[in-house]
């Protein structure tokens, strides 16, 4: 003990001689070493950190294993990539995370650069293959106590009591000319006026508008998908309640004049002194360098009319009026949006920063799904490796058609046509499929897993990591759009791209349905590395009883127009047809067909399914019960009664009392033999 008393006296004596910041840090480091040495001798819980058995000589008392261990080894991880932690605990210690105690106490573990630890070197090596390529940061996963996600934000069903709508106007001061540079700051914005409207959701007497404009004056919600002028134009005048309350003395004519789209000479305002101008600047002053446009003569005439009708004396007063109208219109537009969202989803968007955040909670609320979050870092990276993006490519740079409808038709060459395919709503379709939500687990004996026997509608779905062989004889047939694209750097390129190639794949992560499709077209699985199983549910395809039910005042044309603006919030309308209805289909006409020919097919189809998309679509089958490919919109269908008479277009053959006929409006697959006496 005498050694430590002597060390303490030396530290106290040295403290009086500290004169610089560097000496202070050195003295503090010696104090830490002394304290750590005392803790070690006292045989308290401790740990030693090393890189693959090589000691880094860092000893600390474990007050909280989760934070202390990871913080102590962070520097070594940056240098070596991973470290080995040798634990030596004498007795119990306090840890806020009991799972960490169980994971570290009494055994060695490996901690990798993402700050996740592993109980064996084999698991670390397997993890390092993916982590080194994908992660530039530490990923914090939920624990077993907080791994379940469901709708819990019930307070957001209530309207926010207060909401502030604000805007400001700026002078655009020119910067020094640097046009020779590739990019430069063209203007500097300096605010000269600010206005805000405080709206109370429960007491209009507490709502108030304020504005300030002077030399000392100094749209954060990302919900609206169009500019304010367009959104305001979609609202009827009776919906502009806030604007009307602030301009209650105006006549209807003046109110219409004020709420019409206005213009402001932003680039003309390059100094605060221009606010004292007593006349509206000329039309050329309303030019925008960014768009290259100048306001139209009608818009400029409207600005002059506003100046005169509202007795504007200076450009500053015109700015105040313009700013006030903008703020109040913004308040009206968003308040109408709030009303629509509360009526449809029972949630107030004022509680959210962005529309995706709002729609996420709306999904949780209406589907009532309960997600199990991933708690295994390897599962997280396994799924991330399967997310590659969307393929965009030009398979053939040039193609030339040759058919009898072309002026340049060459009969000596084979006939060919160009067809453009556009498949809509792929993401929406995928989101309505059964999606994973719980019971994620690695499959044992993955190398012998038979993915070919898994049914398409199985409640348990699988993601596999496989080696694929792309046989040489398939290359020419698949070259336009090969299976299994990969995300990697093209030759001589720095950035990753999605590459569709016919090369073999190693450790390729793929959904079992995609893998089944690949093998049906000739690809071969040479090895299965891992298989991840999970339960699925089509929770996004459910139709909750409140979805689609709007109050009567939401069925106006205004609500329809607002629906086009807030594109992410779409609710399927009522279906015009029902399952079992007989319909005809709108007929496609080429430019050579006569205009007086019927617009609807003679063949009658039957609706077998109503899809609650937006707009509603329908699946059909023909009279033989065979499905018709694709879905049909309402305007493409015509409800009819089941026909009693079918028309014969041509008698193809005769045989005794029977004739082989082609039916009018039906293709050759419907040709059939009938009795002569059945023909009228």
- pLDDT tens for 490-531 read 888 888 888 999 999 999 999 999 999 999 999 999 999 999
Higher pLDDT, 312 or 550: 312
Three-state secondary structure call for residue 49: strand
Question: Confidence band (pLDDT; 50, 70, 90) for 221?
Answer: very low
Report the run of H or E that residue 458 belongs to, with start and end: none
Question: Confidence band (pLDDT; 50, 70, 90) for 261?
Answer: confident
* Residues 627-642, mean pLDDT to the nearest whole number: 82
Q: Are residues 201 and 321 in the same domain?
A: yes
Boundary (domain end) residue, out of 605, 621, 639: 639
Three-state secondary structure call for residue 247: coil
> DSSP label at 528?
E
Cα separation of 23 and 8, whole Å? 17
Residue pLDDT, tens place only, 79-114: 555 555 544 433 333 333 434 434 444 444 544 445
- Strand spans (E) along 246-301: none
As a whole-number percent, the residues of the chain with pLDDT over 70 amount to 70
Query: What pLDDT, on a 0 to 100 scale, did the predictor assign at position 214?
Result: 67
Query: What pLDDT, on a 0 to 100 scale, did the predictor assign at position 640?
Result: 80
Q: Are residues 42 and 131 in the same domain?
A: no
What is the sign of the dihedral through the CA atoms of 35, 36, 40 and 43?
Answer: positive
Q: How many CB atoms lie within 10 A of CB 25?
A: 11
Cα separation of 448 and 495, whole Å? 37
Residue 39 sits in a domain of what CATH number? 1.20.58
Residue 412 resides in a domain: no
Cα separation of 432 and 76, whole Å? 46
Q: Which of the residue ranges 19-33, 94-108, 529-543 has the most confident prediction, judged by mean pLDDT?
A: 529-543
Q: Are residues 165 and 308 in the same domain?
A: yes
Q: What is the largest CA-CA distance in the chain?
A: 127
Please state whether the peptide bond connecting residue 615 to the residue before it is cis, i.e. omega within 30 degrees of 0: yes
- At residue 132, φ and ψ (nearest 5 deg) are -65, -25
The tokens for 11 are: 């530290």
* Residues 416-445, mean pLDDT to the nearest whole number: 85
- Strand spans (E) along 594-647: 605-611, 617-621, 632-633, 637-639
- β partners of residue 381: none
Cα separation of 386 and 393, whole Å? 20
* Residues 244-258, mean pLDDT to the nearest whole number: 82
Nearest residue to 110 (alpha-carbon basis) of 132, 86, 93: 86
- At residue 208, φ and ψ (nearest 5 deg) are -155, 145
* Residues 260-278, mean pLDDT to the nearest whole number: 84
Higher pLDDT, 108 or 236: 236
Cα separation of 136 and 117, whole Å? 17
Query: What pLDDT, on a 0 to 100 scale, did the predictor assign at position 569?
Result: 43
Boundary (domain end) residue, out of 46, 80, 114: 80
Higher pLDDT, 62 or 182: 182
3-state percent helix, strand, coil for the chain, nearest multiple of 5: 35, 25, 45
Cα separation of 620 and 628, whole Å? 5
Higher pLDDT, 278 or 679: 278
Query: What pLDDT, on a 0 to 100 scale, did the predictor assign at position 658?
Result: 81
Q: Are residues 104 and 46 in the same domain?
A: no
User: For tokens 């004169």, what's the residue?
Assistant: 19
CA 617 to chain centre: 24
Q: Which of 49-58, 234-243, 264-273, 302-311 has the lowest mean pLDDT?
A: 49-58
Query: What pLDDT, on a 0 to 100 scale, did the predictor assign at position 355?
Result: 87
- β partners of residue 371: 149
Higher pLDDT, 218 or 428: 428
Query: What pLDDT, on a 0 to 100 scale, did the predictor assign at position 634?
Result: 85
Residue 3: exposed, middle, or buried by beta-carbon count in 10 A (0-12, 13-18, 19+)?
Answer: exposed
Question: Confidence band (pLDDT; 50, 70, 90) for 482?
Answer: very high
Cα separation of 562 and 51, whole Å? 61
Q: Are residues 169 and 315 in the same domain?
A: yes
Residue 10 neighbours by CB under 8 Å, 6+ apart: none
Q: How far apart are the two ends of the chain, measured CA to CA in Å?
A: 121
Q: Are residues 385 and 527 in the same domain?
A: yes
Alpha helices in 521-593 (DSSP H): 557-565
- At residue 110, φ and ψ (nearest 5 deg) are -105, 130
Three-state secondary structure call for residue 636: helix
Asked whether the beta carbons of 111 and 77 are under 8 A apart, the reply is: yes
Query: What pLDDT, on a 0 to 100 scale, did the predictor assign at position 7?
Result: 75
Cα separation of 118 and 523, whole Å? 36
Nearest residue to 509 (alpha-carbon basis) of 468, 474, 478: 468
Residue 628 resides in a domain: yes
Q: Are residues 554 and 618 in the same domain?
A: no
Residue 469 neighbours by CB under 8 Å, 6+ apart: 504, 523, 524, 525, 526
CA 136 to chain centre: 22
Residue 261 resides in a domain: yes
Asked whether the beta carbons of 28 and 20 are under 8 A apart, the reply is: no
Strands in 109-112's sheet, in edge-to-edge order, are 54-61, 46-51, 82-88, 109-112, 117-118
CA 78 to chain centre: 33
- β partners of residue 438: 535
Asked whether the beta carbons of 129 and 509 are under 8 A apart, the reply is: no
Residue 368 resides in a domain: no
Q: Are residues 57 and 105 in the same domain?
A: no
User: For tokens 């694709």, what's the residue?
Assistant: 630
The answer on pLDDT for 458 being more than 70 is yes
Query: What pLDDT, on a 0 to 100 scale, did the predictor assign at position 66?
Result: 46
Query: What pLDDT, on a 0 to 100 scale, did the predictor assign at position 137?
Result: 64
Cα separation of 27 and 254, whole Å? 77
Nearest residue to 485 (alpha-carbon basis) of 396, 389, 559: 389
Higher pLDDT, 628 or 138: 628
User: For tokens 């269908």, what's the residue?
Assistant: 637
The tokens for 103 are: 């994971």
Residue 364 resides in a domain: no
Query: What pLDDT, on a 0 to 100 scale, did the predictor assign at position 587?
Result: 66
* Residues 139-159, mean pLDDT to the nearest whole number: 88
Q: Are residues 537 and 429 in the same domain?
A: yes
Q: Are residues 316 and 456 in the same domain?
A: no
Q: At what angle do helices 297-309 and 315-345 cross, to 10 degrees?
A: 100
Cα separation of 371 and 132, whole Å? 28
Please count the structural domains in the chain: 5
- At residue 209, φ and ψ (nearest 5 deg) are -110, 140
Query: What pLDDT, on a 0 to 100 scale, did the predictor assign at position 230?
Result: 63
Residue 441 resides in a domain: yes
The tokens for 45 are: 């819980």
The tokens for 595 are: 């205009």
The range of the structural domain enclosing residue 256 comes to 157-178+185-325
Query: What pLDDT, on a 0 to 100 scale, did the predictor assign at position 546?
Result: 42
Cα separation of 167 and 329, whole Å? 11
Query: What pLDDT, on a 0 to 100 scale, did the predictor assign at position 491?
Result: 85
Question: Confidence band (pLDDT; 50, 70, 90) for 222?
Answer: very low
Query: What pLDDT, on a 0 to 100 scale, did the predictor assign at position 129?
Result: 63
User: For tokens 């339960």, what's the residue?
Assistant: 535
Q: Are residues 443 and 475 in the same domain?
A: yes
The answer on pLDDT for 274 being more than 80 is yes
Three-state secondary structure call for residue 278: coil
Q: Are residues 439 and 536 in the same domain?
A: yes
Query: What pLDDT, on a 0 to 100 scale, did the predictor assign at position 346?
Result: 92
* Residues 631-652, mean pLDDT to the nearest whole number: 75
Cα separation of 118 and 97, whole Å? 17
Q: How many CB atoms lie within 10 A of CB 9?
A: 10
Query: What pLDDT, on a 0 to 100 scale, did the predictor assign at position 135?
Result: 60
Residue 651 resides in a domain: no
Residue 233 neighbours by CB under 8 Å, 6+ apart: 261
The answer on pLDDT for 163 being more than 60 is yes
Residue pLDDT, tens place only, 366-420: 888 899 998 888 888 889 888 888 877 776 778 889 988 888 899 999 988 887 7
Asked whether the beta carbons of 59 and 48 are under 8 A apart, the reply is: yes
Cα separation of 431 and 613, whole Å? 12
Boundary (domain end) residue, out of 533, 566, 599: 566
Query: What pLDDT, on a 0 to 100 scale, did the predictor assign at position 349?
Result: 93
Residue 422: exposed, middle, or buried by beta-carbon count in 10 A (0-12, 13-18, 19+)?
Answer: exposed
Parallel/antiparallel/unpaired status of strands 109-112 and 505-511: unpaired
Residue 127 resides in a domain: yes
Cα separation of 323 and 195, whole Å? 7
Residue 453 neighbours by CB under 8 Å, 6+ apart: none
Higher pLDDT, 576 or 217: 576
Cα separation of 230 and 333, whole Å? 10
* Residues 599-625, mean pLDDT to the nearest whole number: 81
The average confidence (pLDDT) of the chain is 76
Nearest residue to 192 (alpha-carbon basis) of 312, 264, 275: 275
Residue 613 neighbours by CB under 8 Å, 6+ apart: 425, 428, 572, 631
Question: What's this model's pTM, rounded to 2 decimal places?
Answer: 0.58
């Amino acid at each position: 003990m005498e050694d430590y008393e002597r060390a303490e006296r030396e530290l106290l004596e040295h403290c009086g001689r500290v004169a610089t910041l560097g000496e202070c840090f050195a003295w503090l480091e010696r104090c830490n070493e002394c304290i750590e040495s005392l803790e070690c001798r006292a045989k308290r819980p401790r740990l030693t950190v090393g890189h693959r058995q090589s000691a880094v000589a860092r000893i600390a008392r474990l007050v909280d294993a989760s934070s202390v261990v990871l913080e102590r080894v962070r520097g070594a991880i940056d240098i070596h990539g991973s470290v080995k932690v040798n634990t030596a605990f004498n007795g119990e210690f306090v840890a806020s995370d009991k799972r960490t105690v169980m994971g570290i106490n009494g055994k060695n573990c490996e901690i990798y650069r993402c700050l996740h630890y592993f109980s064996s070197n084999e698991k670390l090596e397997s993890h390092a293959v993916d982590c080194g390529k994908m992660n530039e940061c530490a990923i914090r996963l939920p624990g077993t106590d907080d791994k379940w996600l469901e709708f819990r934000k019930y307070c957001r069903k209530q309207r926010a009591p207060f909401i502030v709508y604000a805007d400001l106007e700026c002078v655009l001061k020119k910067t020094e000319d640097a046009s020779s540079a590739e990019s430069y700051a063209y203007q500097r914005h300096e605010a000269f006026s600010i206005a805000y409207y405080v709206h109370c959701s429960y007491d209009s007497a507490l709502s108030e508008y304020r504005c300030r404009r002077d030399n000392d004056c100094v749209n954060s919600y990302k919900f609206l998908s169009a500019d304010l002028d367009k959104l305001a134009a979609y609202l009827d005048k009776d919906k502009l309640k806030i604007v009307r309350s602030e301009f209650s003395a105006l006549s209807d004519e003046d109110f219409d004049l004020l709420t019409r789209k206005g213009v402001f000479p932003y680039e003309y305002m390059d100094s605060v002194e221009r606010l004292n101008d007593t006349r509206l600047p000329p039309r050329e002053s309303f030019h925008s360098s960014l768009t290259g446009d100048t306001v139209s003569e009608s818009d400029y005439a409207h600005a002059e009319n506003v100046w005169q009708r509202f007795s504007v004396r200076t450009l500053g007063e015109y700015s105040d009026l313009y700013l006030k109208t903008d703020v109040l219109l913004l308040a009206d537009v968003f308040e109408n949006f709030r009303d629509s969202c509360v009526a449809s989803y029972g949630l107030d968007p004022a509680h959210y920063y962005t529309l995706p955040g709002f729609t996420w909670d709306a999904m949780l609320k209406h589907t009532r799904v309960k997600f199990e979050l991933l708690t295994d870092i390897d599962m997280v990276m396994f799924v991330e490796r399967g997310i590659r993006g969307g393929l965009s490519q030009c398979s053939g740079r040039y193609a030339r058609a040759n058919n009898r409808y072309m002026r340049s038709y060459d009969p000596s060459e084979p006939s060919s046509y160009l067809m453009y395919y556009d498949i809509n709503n792929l993401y929406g379709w995928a989101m309505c499929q059964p999606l994973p939500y719980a019971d994620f687990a690695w499959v044992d004996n993955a190398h012998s897993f038979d993915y070919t026997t898994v049914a398409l509608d199985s409640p348990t779905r699988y993601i596999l990591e496989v080696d694929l062989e792309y046989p040489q004889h398939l290359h020419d047939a698949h070259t336009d759009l090969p299976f299994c694209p990969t995300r990697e750097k093209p030759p001589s390129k720095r950035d990753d791209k999605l590459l569709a190639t016919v090369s073999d794949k190693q450790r390729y992560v793929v959904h079992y349905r995609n893998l089944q499709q690949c093998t049906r077209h000739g690809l071969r699985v040479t090895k299965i590395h891992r298989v991840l199983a999970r339960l699925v549910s089509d929770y996004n395809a459910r139709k909750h009883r409140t979805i689609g039910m709007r109050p009567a005042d939401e069925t106006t044309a205004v609500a329809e127009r607002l629906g086009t603006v807030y594109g992410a919030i779409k609710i399927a309308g009522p279906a015009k047809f029902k399952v079992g209805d007989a319909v005809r289909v709108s007929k496609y006409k080429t430019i050579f067909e006569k205009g007086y020919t019927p617009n609807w097919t003679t063949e009658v189809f039957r609706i077998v399914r109503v899809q609650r998309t937006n707009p509603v679509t329908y699946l059909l089958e023909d009279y033989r019960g065979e499905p018709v490919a694709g879905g049909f919109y309402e305007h493409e269908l015509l409800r009819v009664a089941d026909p009693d008479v079918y028309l014969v277009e041509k008698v193809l053959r005769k045989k005794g009392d029977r004739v082989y006929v082609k039916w009018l409006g039906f293709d050759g697959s419907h040709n059939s033999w009938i009795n002569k006496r059945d023909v009228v």
